Structure 1
Amino acid sequence: MKHILKLLFLFPIYVLLDACSNPDILESREECIEKINGFNVRWRSQITESQKKIVTDILNNMVYIEGQTFVMGATPEQKGYARNNEYPLIHVRLSDYYICKYEVSDEQYRGLVSWASQSSSYQFVTWKEWKDFISVLKDMTGLPFSLPTEAQWEYAARGGKLSKNYIYPGSNNLDEVNSFTYNSGSTHANELGIFNMADLKSEWCLDYYEEYPTSQTIYYDRLIKTGESHVVRGGSYNCSGHSSKYLNTRMSDMYGYFKDDSSSALDRIIDKRYCRVTARSYYYESEYGNRNIGCRLVINSKQN
């Protein structure tokens, strides 16, 4: 009798272990728990093996960010280059989180969602579509994937606790961190081992756009939840290598580009200023027409 009870107890465990290793069972089970890079992934029943590989690659490239209080905005190394919407400085306290070393690639996007075009080289993906993409990832894995908040993006670009106060993510020399191509990982990483925050595509943030507040309080896990447009951070492959515009701070010479100091969307000539760690822009969440805004995933240890 004891042996029968023992077998009855162990049988579900054997079935679960077999399901995790058997692709056929993978398609039919409700879920299977697997540990990847420290994350407890609850694979959902409908995930395919090719999708599982894509998600596994994403998880293996997540970088742990230890949160702390940092100064957000145009800190001294940015002076002379900063736009008006990077002031005043604010203090933000972040919880721990994970951020991916790389932007989501077009291949990853097309491989995980059914609505993506299979013929386009570069996807014209809106903020809303990235949110739907992330909902698919959450459903597939049970993990709290998200777009980064603006504060999370800037803190990671600065290098977190390892920051060397660079102008650009990982360097004071744009040529080291902007390859002027769409090749992921083609430049050297910043202090945290994160790539391409100053080239490839600019990147959506979770926040709605607003001017920085004048209050001197500390903002805990700052997230702006209402507004008309969303924050866009980071440079793109279009960032110019010409230093003449970059170093010229006279407003009369930048008419048509810096006429709107609060920063309009990425529909203007992009120069090296957009590649800095504190540069801010915005775009409407449902608007098509700009293929140069991508997505970098985060996993939060604390839900927003």
Structure 2
Amino acid sequence: MLTGIDVSKSSPAPAPDAPAKPLATTIYPVPCARCGRVVRVALNTLRAPSFHHVAEQASCPEIQERPRSKGDGGLLLMMCGPLKQSLSASCDAAEVEATAPSGGRHGRIVCSIPGVSITQYAPDEARSHAEIWQAHGHHGLARRLRKAAAVAERGPPMWSRAAAGLGALLVAAAGSWFMLAREPIPAPPAQPQAGEASVPSSGPASTDPGVRSVTMEAVSAATAPASAPADPPSEALAIAGPAPQVAAAVALAADLTAQAASTTPTPSPEVAKIRLPDIVMIPGGTFAMGGTESSELPVHRVTIKPFALGKYPITIGEWKECVADKACADVTGGPDDNPITNVSYDDARDYLTWLSRTVGKPFRLPTEAEWEYAARGGTSTAFWWGDQMRGGMANCSRCNDAGAPAQLMKVGSFPANPFGLFDMGGGVDQWVADSWHKTYQGAPSDGSAWIDEQSFIRVIRSGSWKNDASYARSGSRDRYDGRVRYPTHGLRIALSL
């Protein structure tokens, strides 16, 4: 999740002597309308949206054209005009949807900002982000986030439940009227013969079980959002207005006399709801793929089409849902927010098959070229932050505190790269789609997977918490038998756009 600011009114005030809570900043990758670059924009409630990196500001064409003065303070990383326009357009087009609470748990809020990100929030996180957007004039997005947070906590608004109840009452009344008008008043029931069970009458509404079946299905259909997709994702995401629901319920009641005599099968059980892993939109581009090791040569130009990539490696909690559906092997162990490990290439394929079937989208592993392009985040250095390892940037052996033991950490424990991706270097080894080749001689230049159907050896990327810093380089690559599990191996999902 992107980090927000806790501004809940119900939060207790800090003690007078308590240290001030550090101001959190939300970082969004935004495609610039002028130069086409994806630029990281920093936002918080006390400062206007700005460039997150000085280097990105310095290379901005508009910033370079502006006259400088001694008192401008280095422009304070302010955004250029086209970048502001891009951010505003993205916010205006953002879609915010929510799931109602179930099983004693709050629902989730999904915020889709076109070309920027698709992120899931808990209700408190959504409200924190609403405060940030509100502070910078994006009132519509802030309002949608707050409304979705309310739905996720308490279910549909009262008017929605009232409309559904009104529709049910109208339908039941119409059904009763129809049944009474169609059939004569029945004679008093005969006394049961010996050996027969006496069944008490419950009135006209219960004389025809088909009436109840039609009513419940029709009300469900009438109160569904008009914009719901034909093949809904795993979570029913909607925030709808009252007018269509009430009108549909009234129309249904008027038309029920033509339907009441028919019967319909009992609705099939609701498809199990899952939490879709967060994904980030990756813009297309061309980059120099490769490095200095023999397996990373020759360095070659590769063109990548836009695609979506998992914001984090798949977590234990996300894997458990596949296990519960009996589609994945139970290799879990540890906290739910740790990345899944001990996963073979074949296991990863099972998970992707299950996720694609459940959600209705063709998820896959990223290709090796896509993975490296995304890991670099538009940079050409050994790591996305520079040519040398820096403490606090990646989970790898002896990369931080020299005396600290190497250990697996929860996803998102270290900074995101310029594309908004976490753990693209260190953490867990990540399977990609390609077969292993000793060099890049003959590798495709269009970003597609390089597959050798006769080989079981597959490429892994990122390095792990057990490997040294050289494995966390963007260009580093390794391999393993795809049929075999290993304690440091995990995965990250991808999706073609």
- Preserved contact between residue 286 and residue 301 of structure 2 (Cα < 8 Å): yes
Q: CA–CA distance in 2 between the matches of 1:204 and 1:278?
A: 15
Give SS of 1:32's match: coil
The within-5 A match list for 1:288-303 is: 288=485, 290-301=486-497
- CA 1:214 to 1:200, structure 2 compared with 1: closer, same or farther past 3 Å? closer
Q: In structure 2, do the counterparts of structure 1 residues 123 and 141 end up closer, same or farther at CA, with 3 Å as the change threshold?
A: same
- Inter-CA distance 189–48: structure 2 relative to 1 (3 Å threshold): same
Q: Deviations over 1:39-78 (max 9, x none)?
A: xxxxx976423x2xx21xx1xx21111112221101xxxx
**Whole-angstrom distance in 2 between the partners of 1:128 and 1:32:** 28
The CA deviation at 1:213 is: 4.0
1:16-31 equivalences under 5 Å are 16=221, 18=223, 31=231
Q: Are 1:280 and 2:477 counterparts? A: yes
* Residue 102 of structure 1: aligned partner: 312
Paired with 1:230 and 1:200, the residues of 2 have a C-alpha distance of: 19
2:283 alignment counterpart: 66
1:176 to 372, 388, 392: 392
Query: 1:119 and 1:64, CA in 2 relative to 1: closer, same or farther beyond 3 A?
Result: closer
For 1:286 and 1:187, how far apart are their aligned partners in 2? 30
Amino acid at match of 1:87: L
Report the CA distance shift for 1:214/1:208 in structure 2 as closer, same or farther (over 3 A): closer
Contact 2:295/2:477 (8 A) holds in 1: yes
2:379 corresponds, among 133, 151, 164, to 164
Instruction: Note if contact 1:102-1:185 (Cα within 8 Å) is conserved in structure 2.
Output: yes
8 Å contact from structure 1 (residues 16, 32) kept in 2: no
What is the match of residue 240 of structure 2? none
CA distance in 2, matches of 1:153, 1:63: 13
Deviation (angstroms), 1:90: 1.7
Deviation for aligned residue 1:123: 4.0
Give the Å deviation of 1:117.
2.3
**C-alpha offsets along residues 21-43 of structure 1, whole Å, 9 cap, x if unaligned?**
9xxxxxxxx9535797xxxxxxx
Q: Which amino acid aligns with 1:134?
A: L
- How has the CA–CA distance of structure 1 residues 14 and 224 changed in structure 2, closer, same or farther, with 3 Å as cutoff? farther
Cα distance in 2 for partners of 1:108, 1:129 equals: 14
SS in 1 for 2:373: helix
**Alpha-carbon shift at residue 272 of structure 1 (Å):** 1.6
Aligned ranges for residues 186-201 of structure 1 at < 5 Å? 186-201=413-428
Give the corresponding residue for 1:259: none
Asked if residue 229 in structure 1 is aligned to residue 483 in structure 2, the reply is: no
Give the drift of 1:178. Answer: 1.6
Aligned counterparts of 1:223 and 1:45: Cα–Cα separation in 2: 39
Identity percentage over the alignment? Answer: 24
Match of 1:89 among 281, 299, 318: 299
Question: How do 1:230-245 residues align onto structure 2 when only pairs under 5 Å count?
Answer: 230-239=458-467
Summarize the Cα distance change of 1:123–1:214 in structure 2 as closer, same or farther, 3 Å threshold.
Answer: closer
Conserved? CA contact 1:99–1:299, under 8 Å? yes
Does residue 330 of structure 2 align to residue 117 of structure 1?
A: yes
Q: Could you say which structure has the larger radius of gyration?
A: 2
* 1:165–1:220 CA distance, 2 compared to 1 (3 A): closer
Instruction: Write out per-residue CA displacement over residues 205-244 of structure 1, whole angstroms, 9 at most, x where no aligned residue.
Output: 01111133445x97213211213311000021113xxxxx
3-state secondary structure, aligned to 1:203: strand
* Contact 1:98-1:300 within 8 A present in 2 as well: yes
Distance in 2 between residues matched to 1:142 and 1:85, nearest whole Å: 37
Aligned partner (choices 337, 341, 346) of residue 128 of structure 1: 346
Q: 1:17 to 1:62 in 2, by over 3 A?
A: farther
| C-alpha separation in 1, matches of 2:221 and 2:362 | 23
Q: Deviations over 1:96-124 (max 9, x none)?
A: 10011100011211122324327633642
Task: Tell me the residue number matched to 2:59.
Answer: none
CA distance in 2, matches of 1:169, 1:219: 22
Structure 2 length-normalised TM? 0.42
Q: Which residue, 430, 447, 454 being the options, matches 1:203?
A: 430
Q: Determine if contact 2:427/2:462 at 8 Å carries over to the other structure.
A: no
8 Å Cα contact 1:157/1:169 also seen in 2: yes
CA contact (8 A) 1:199 1:234 kept: yes
The answer to whether the 8 A contact 1:67-1:93 is kept is yes
Contact 1:127 1:204 in 2 (8 A): yes
**Distance between the aligned counterparts of 2:416 and 2:465, measured in 1?**
16
Structure 1 contact 69–93 (Cα < 8 Å) conserved: yes
Tell me the distance in 1 between the aligned counterparts of 2:219 and 2:439: 55
Structure 1 residues 218 and 233, CA, compared in 2 at 3 Å: closer, same or farther? closer
Q: CA RMSD in A?
A: 3.0
CA separation in 2, counterparts of 1:196 and 1:273? Answer: 15
Amino acid at match of 2:450: I
Tell me the CA shift for residue 83 of structure 1.
1.7
Aligned-partner Cα distance in 2 for 1:235–1:184: 14
> Is the 2:368–2:433 Cα contact (8 Å) retained in structure 1?
yes
Unaligned 5+ segments in structure 1 are: 1-10, 22-29, 37-43, 75-81, 240-270
Q: What's the offset of the Cα at 1:135?
A: 0.5
Is this contact kept in 2: 1:177–1:196, CA < 8 A? no
Structure 2: runs of 5 or more not aligned: 1-215, 238-267, 335-339, 397-407
